[in-house]
């Protein structure tokens, strides 16, 4: 005899399994399979070189304008400051881009090493198997659904699976945005760094640095949130709703962690960045004083001859 209730329950169980496997696949791919490749870095640095070529003349023009302005104001001793900034513009741009690319690659490899587990399931698998109610973690590549789920709870679990899928999608999009934003920052790095002779645009360097550092750190911070959630689930005595709610909260917090990381870097970077600007200005002033002293000494020696 046909059992319509059993057929509906089997259909919902299958749908639930597909939704959870899809959510697991999204987050797994975001941390393991969507790292920035050499081809993507090459495309970004291609635009970097183009912007350097375009802004090279603008850098010279800004430096010339600064020199003329200082000469008209009778501050000829400060002429060396824009000259030094002009010479340092391209090396500073190349160094900043190289450091950002290398650091991002190293951090992404560190994240994959953090999430890997030598024994037992990884943090991602622990969280999503908790939603699925799987008991055997070694026999599956992703989460599966506990077929003993009762009909009374199947709707609740289906709603939970939908929420988990939506949050997982948000987390994946956020991490993809992080990768794309890093490529954009690399491509437009000369806009911030090549106009070094202009004092009014040096704040752009601070903004570029803070955003780049924040985006680089966003992925390991998110991975750390997932690892913490996995450990909390393992430490939870309740294998039911307590563990599932812990996992859900962990994914939600992980989704917002990149934004929190950016805000923290911007907050913590205000004082160091200001000190860095002061150090740059002090270094340029020191170079100017030393060069001016050398010029005066040379002038006196020539006059004695």
Tokens of 76: 């000829």
Give the global pTM. 0.74
In sequence order, which residues have a C-beta less than 8 Å from that of residue 16 and are 6 or more positions away? 132, 145, 149, 154, 157, 158, 161
Whole-angstrom CA distances from 132 to 105, 122, 157 are 33, 15, 9
Each residue's pLDDT tens digit, 66-85: 888 878 877 777 778 778 88
- The yes-or-no verdict on residue 186 having pLDDT over 90 is yes
pLDDT value at residue 76 = 73
Q: What is the DSSP letter of 196?
A: T
State the greatest distance between any 2 C-alpha atoms of the chain, in Å, as a whole number: 119
Q: Token match 């202009």: residue?
A: 198
Rounded to whole angstroms, how far apart are CA atoms 80 and 197? 11
The packing angle between helices 202-235 and 154-187, to 10°, is 150
- What does the domain layout of the chain look like in residue ranges? 4-304
Average pLDDT over residues 41-65: 88
pLDDT tens readout for residues 241-295: 777 788 888 888 888 888 888 888 877 764 444 444 544 455 545 544 554 544 4
Collapsed DSSP state (helix, strand, coil) of residue 5: helix
Q: 270-304 and 241-268 helices cross at what angle (nearest 10)?
A: 20
Q: In the numeric block, which tokens belong to residue 111?
A: 């994240």
* CB contact at 8 A, 225 and 113: no
What pLDDT digit, counting tens, does each position of 35-50 carry?
Answer: 788 898 999 999 999 9
């Amino acid at each position: 005899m046909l059992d319509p209730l059993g057929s509906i329950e089997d259909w919902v169980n299958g749908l639930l399994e597909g939704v959870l496997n899809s959510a697991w696949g999204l987050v797994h791919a975001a941390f393991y399979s969507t790292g920035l490749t050499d081809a993507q870095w090459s495309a970004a640095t291609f635009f970097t070189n183009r912007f350097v070529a375009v802004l090279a003349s603008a850098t010279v023009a800004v430096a010339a304008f600064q020199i003329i302005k200082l000469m008209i104001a009778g501050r000829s001793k400060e002429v060396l400051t824009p000259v030094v900034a002009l010479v340092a513009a391209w090396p500073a741009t190349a160094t900043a881009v190289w450091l950002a690319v290398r650091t991002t690659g190293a951090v992404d490899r560190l994240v994959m090493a953090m999430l890997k587990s030598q024994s037992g399931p990884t943090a991602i698998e622990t969280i999503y198997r908790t939603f699925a109610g799987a008991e055997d973690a070694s026999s599956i590549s992703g989460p599966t659904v506990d077929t003993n789920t009762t009909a009374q709870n199947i709707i609740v679990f289906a709603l939970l699976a939908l929420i988990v899928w939506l949050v997982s999608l948000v987390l994946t999009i956020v991490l993809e945005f992080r990768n794309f934003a890093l490529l954009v920052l690399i491509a437009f790095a000369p806009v911030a760094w090549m106009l070094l002779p202009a004092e009014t645009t040096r704040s752009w360097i601070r903004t570029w640095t803070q955003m780049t550092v924040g985006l680089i750190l966003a992925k390991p911070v998110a991975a750390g949130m997932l690892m913490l959630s996995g450990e909390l689930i393992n430490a939870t005595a309740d294998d039911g709703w307590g563990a599932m709610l812990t996992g859900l909260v962990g994914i939600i917090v992980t989704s917002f962690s990149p934004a929190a990381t950016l805000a923290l870097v911007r907050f913590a970077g205000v004082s160091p960045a200001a000190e860095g600007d002061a150090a740059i200005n002090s270094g340029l002033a020191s170079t100017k004083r030393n060069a001016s002293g050398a010029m005066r000494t040379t002038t006196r020696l020539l006059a004695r001859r």
